[in-house]
Amino acid sequence: MEKLQVNLGNRSYPITIGSKVLELDNIFWPLNPGDHAMLVTNKTLANIWKDKVFYQLRQAGIKLDQVILSDGEQYKTLNEMELIISALLERSHNRDTTLIALGGGVIGDLTGFAAAIYQRGVKFIQIPTTLLSQVDSSVGGKTGVNHILGKNMVGAFWQPSSVIIDIDCLSTLPNSEMVSGIAEVIKYAIAFDEKFFIWLEKNIHLVLALSETEISYCISKCCQLKSYVISIDERENNVRALLNLGHTFGHAIEAHLGYGSWLHGEAVSVGIVIAARVAQLLDKINKIEVNRIINLLKKAGLPTKAPKNMTAHAYLPYIMKDKKVLSGLIRFILPVKIGQVKIFTNIDKNILLSAIRNSQ
């Protein structure tokens, strides 16, 4: 078992990583015997992990209710979040309640947003069950829902009280979900850590095979990198934006094709390729490094070609609505070498269109 700490002053919280950590005593910090909590999960996980987690929480003396949502990115909506709020009110949960998110990024974001706004803010615990949520979305306090005009456009920054990462949850994931999560792992390596990128080039097959040593190291490394970034820029005023490598283009793909048509990691993978192509056209990164990036994404089984049924011009309206647009200027996160990304503005539209077309 490994413990990390996200350092945010009085909003600091622990991340616990390991095998069978859900079975440990006193793991559901800050809950104590007699506390009231609401477990939020989806229909798929309710059949796999819910009973085990329910049992552990009851053994810990927690008074527990539950709400089970539909499964899928297309259900990351205000309508689904209202189901959580209604369940809390119907079962008389007060401001001292704690929400517990058992699931991937969708459940984590929905639950966190509900916690942020229920009675003006209650505690919540993240128990991420997908690789994507374990390495990325469960840490950092970004919560929210999608809108038909843009991804994650309605939400709040609301930090969890703790994050509990049990790598055994990954054993029940479909291969496509594991591969999707690897996109965020590769993103961290491209953006912040060349040595980690080289390690992935050598060990990506062991990570995907759920070799305990490699998967634990991989999750820990990503959580360390994200925790550091968040500790210096909690609300994405500057360096936290670097975590969005590939997301501007990836979110455009998700919104245009319909949420759930492509998995988030698949869209981010193509977004990373487009971002690398833009950087190459600007002479900010060399062709050899771009090819290494593309080859690692391919090695992981991720798509590297933009969807054929989406024109280059179709990306532009979504890019203009991106959350990184400030004072009318679009900020693009582009790799300048493996292990380093920078923020660029005022990129010519024709360069963007050319990079997208070169990626199709």
- pLDDT tens digit string along 77-101? 999 999 999 999 999 999 999 999 9
What pLDDT, on a 0 to 100 scale, did the predictor assign at position 323?
A: 59
Residue where one domain finishes, among candidates 131, 149, 172: 172
Is residue 329 scored above 80 in pLDDT? no
77 & 192 share domain: no
Single pTM value for the model: 0.94
State the pLDDT at residue 246.
97
Same-domain status, 158 and 230:
no
Say how many Å lie between the first and final Cα of the chain, rounded.
Answer: 43
Among 172, 194, 221, the domain-final residue is 172
Active site residue ranges: 120, 142, 184, 226, 236, 240, 244, 247, 251, 264
Mean pLDDT across 127-153: 93
Domain with residue 44: its CATH number is 3.40.50.1970
Q: What percent of the chain has pLDDT over 90?
A: 91
Handedness of CA 307, 147, 139, 261 (dihedral sign): negative
For 151-164, b where at least 16 C-beta lie within 10 A, e where not — what string? bbbebebbbbbbbb
Longest dimension (CA), the chain: 61
Shared domain for 154 and 206, answered yes or no, is no
Confidence of residue 328 (pLDDT cuts 50, 70, 90): low
CA angle 74, 75, 81 (to 5 degrees): 150
Q: Indicate if 338 and 210 belong to the same structural domain.
A: yes
User: What is the rounded average pLDDT of the residues 11-34?
Assistant: 94
For the stretch 286-304, pLDDT in tens is: 999 999 999 999 999 999 9
Residue 330 has pLDDT above 90, yes or no: no
Q: Is the pLDDT of residue 108 over 80?
A: yes
Are residue 33 and residue 102 in the same domain, yes or no?
yes
CATH code, 207: 1.20.1090.10
Residue 143 has pLDDT above 80, yes or no: yes
Q: Look at residue 324 and tell me whether its pLDDT is greater than 80.
A: no
> For the chain, how many structural domains are there in total?
2
Same domain, 154 and 95: yes
210 and 314 inside one domain: yes
Both 167 and 53 in one domain: the answer is: yes
Average pLDDT, the chain: 95
Domain boundary among 125, 145, 172: 172
Same domain, 164 and 195: no
Domain range for 201: 175-358
130 lies in the same domain as 201: no
Query: Can you list the alpha helix ranges (DSSP code H) found in 161-263?
Result: 175-192, 194-208, 212-232, 247-257
Same domain for 153 and 229, yes or no, is: no
Q: Tokens 């040595």 map to which residue? A: 195
Residues 239, 145 share a domain? no
Average pLDDT over residues 8-15: 97
Can you give the pLDDT at residue 36? Answer: 97
pLDDT of residue 66: 97
Average the pLDDT over 170-193 and give the result: 97
Q: What does residue 155 show for φ and ψ, rounded to 5 degrees?
A: 180, -165
pLDDT at residue 25 in the model: 87
